Amino acid sequence: MERKTAHGEDWFMFPKPNKNAKLRIFCFPYAGAGASIYKKWEDSIPMEVELCVATLPGRENRRGESAFKDFSSLIEVVAEEIIPLLDKPYVFFGHSMGALLSFELARTLGEKNIELPIHLILSGINPLKSNDKLEMPLSSMSDHDFISLLHRLNGTPTEVLENKEVLNYFLPVIKADFALLNSYSFAAGLPLECSITAYGGMDDTPAASLKDWATHTVSTFAMKMFQGDHFFINSARKEVLAALRADLMMIVNKVTERDEMAILENFLNCKKKASPLKRGATRGGKQRALAENIKKNVRMFK
């Protein structure tokens, strides 16, 4: 299911809408990829969580649109489009380019005084330092050399790279995404208030580098390493999804605990504000009124 946003485009897709979910996870794709890389995750996440996948312009169902080549412009538009969907506690997950989108989107929402995600799961990317740029090889490369690079990165199926017709569709998308990454420059800012978990491939990102994500939060930080190279989320998919499921259940439990505490707090406030029994009033009647007040508060958190 796709939800139209203010501009009418399908910026976010809900493979299995779940109005009773306690938590929503937004997933952002890596360079050259689209929403399809996450669609099959719906059966692996907890039933209390609703999966929402970003559908960026220039690919798959939006291939007729121009892909963004300026990172800041994309973040601003995505921030505007996602705000109406932040009506329940949420988490961001992104791999590689998607992780960078997740991180900068959280910072932008914070600057707009929008409630932050409860948690960020940043996969397959090292944190950058002030004024660092992602210098992706692009402008000086021929298509032949670029395809050879994609072979070495091991993130694009061989059948795609060897099919000229499919490749003609795929190359403009990934080149646009590389240009998008080239436009990005990290600017130092205040650490986020949401917790962060970093996922890394043992043959890709050094654990010591991933640990630096801890400096970007004032909350808790965790790190998980998986067998594989940069695209371990595909090669170690079973292990990644098991870890993600565990992380999401932990967050769901925290959300549930927070809601229960809020209900209890409202109950105690109601009790404090309750007036003394008036002459002729029954204690049972007062308790029924208090119970009705509590039920209203419970409904607020469902």
Question: How many residues in the chain?
Answer: 302
- C-alpha span between 284 and 4 (Å, rounded): 50
Strands 2-3 and 12-13, sheet pairing: antiparallel
Residue 96 among the catalytic residues: yes
Which of these, 42, 197, 232, 48, lies nearest to 124 by C-alpha position?
Answer: 232
- C-alpha span between 80 and 76 (Å, rounded): 6
Strands 90-95 and 49-54, sheet pairing: unpaired
Angle, in degrees to the nearest 10, between helices 97-111 and 71-82: 60
| Catalytic choice (96, 123, 195, 235) | 96
Residue 2's Cα: distance from chain center in Å? 17
Q: Name all contacts of 81-86 with Cβ < 8 Å and 24+ positions apart.
A: 81/5, 81/6, 81/7, 81/9, 81/11, 81/12, 82/11, 82/12, 82/26, 82/109, 83/109, 83/112, 83/114, 84/5, 84/6, 85/3, 85/12, 85/24, 85/26, 85/52, 86/114, 86/115
The catalytic residue positions are: 96
